[in-house]
Amino acid sequence: MCILLDDVDYLSGPLWLIPGSHLLGDISMPIGNRAKSVNRWANDTSETLSYQVPSNDVNSLLENTEPKALVGKAGDVIFFHPQVVHCSSNNLSSVDRRLLIITYNQKSNAGIKASSRPEFLSSRLK
């Protein structure tokens, strides 16, 4: 789930989604040793993530599908599958483009152990 905290237009760096890409399952690949590092969570809060979809795969997806920009007004809520191939573009405007992404899970699919990520990134509601 994504909540737009600011108005987002094509210049302010929207999130881009490739519709239908989630039907392929998880097609991401580990990038170098980043996925194995001690502070792995820190690698997944930057532009260079531990797991990425190879550019050749993205190019193949784009041969048959038009990407969609996630644009809207502050307060808009957008739901999308977490395995939809997505990326952010550069903000070319003079205003912020902040959004909040919340990942949720069914209680029946609760993790066996608590996350190794810091509480501010991952917490389990009881």
Print the domain residue range for 63: 2-109
Is residue 93 domain-resident?
Answer: yes
The model's confidence at residue 32, banded by pLDDT at 50, 70 and 90, is low
Note the pLDDT tens digit of each residue in 83-112.
899 888 899 999 999 999 888 777 787 666
Q: What is the mean pLDDT of residues 19-32?
A: 84
Domain count for the chain: 1
Asked if the structure places residue 125 within a domain, the reply is no
Q: According to the model, what pLDDT value does residue 75 have? A: 97
Contact 85, 15 (CB under 8 A): no
Any domain includes 20: yes
Residue 34 in this model has a pLDDT that exceeds 70: no
Looking at residues 35-57, what average pLDDT do you find? 69
Distances (CA, A) of 50 to 45, 77, 104: 10, 27, 20
In a domain, 126, yes or no: no
Residue 121 has pLDDT above 80, yes or no: no
Question: Residue 16 domain-assigned?
Answer: yes
